């Protein structure tokens, strides 16, 4: 049986590929016994996702935290760089929506 770290690292690798703006990011799991239920990022495109402390769907948790990291990236760069990243992000969200959400 996989532990939380193994599950989260697999999900990070899987979901990171969905967002082109995260391609240059180093994102990893870290259990420092201090932070839970959140992520943090720095200006060097490095981010950490911390353990989750409650019973939850790990897939949803990791996806949620990756969206926070995407938002952090969207706030960086010149106006034109931010606009370009925003467009890529929205296009990627549309692809995800089209692939995983059934519209009736």
Q: What is the rounded distance in angstroms from the CA atom of residue 64 to the CA atom of residue 5? A: 16
Of 10, 12, 25, residue with least CA distance to 72 = 25
SS3 assignment, position 40: strand
pTM of the entire predicted model: 0.91
Q: Which two tokens stand for residue 61?
A: 């948790």
Does residue 9 contact residue 29 with C-beta atoms inside 8 Å? yes
Residues of the chain with pLDDT under 70: 102-104
Instruction: Convert the pLDDT of each residue in 61-73 to its tens digit.
Output: 999 999 999 999 9
Instruction: Indicate the angle between helix axes 58-74 and 79-100, nearest 10 degrees.
Output: 160
Query: Residue ranges per domain, the chain?
Result: 4-100
pLDDT of residue 104: 56
């Amino acid at each position: 049986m996989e532990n939380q770290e193994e599950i989260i690292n697999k999900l990070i690798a899987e979901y990171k590929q969905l967002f082109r703006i995260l391609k240059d990011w180093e994102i990893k799991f870290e259990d420092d016994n201090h932070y839970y239920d959140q992520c943090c990022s720095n200006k060097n495109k490095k981010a950490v996702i911390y353990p989750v402390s409650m019973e939850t769907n790990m897939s949803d948790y990791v996806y949620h935290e990756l969206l926070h990291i995407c938002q952090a990236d969207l706030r960086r760069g010149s106006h034109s760089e931010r606009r370009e990243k925003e467009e890529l992000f929205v296009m990627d969200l549309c692809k995800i929506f089209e692939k995983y959400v059934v519209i009736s």
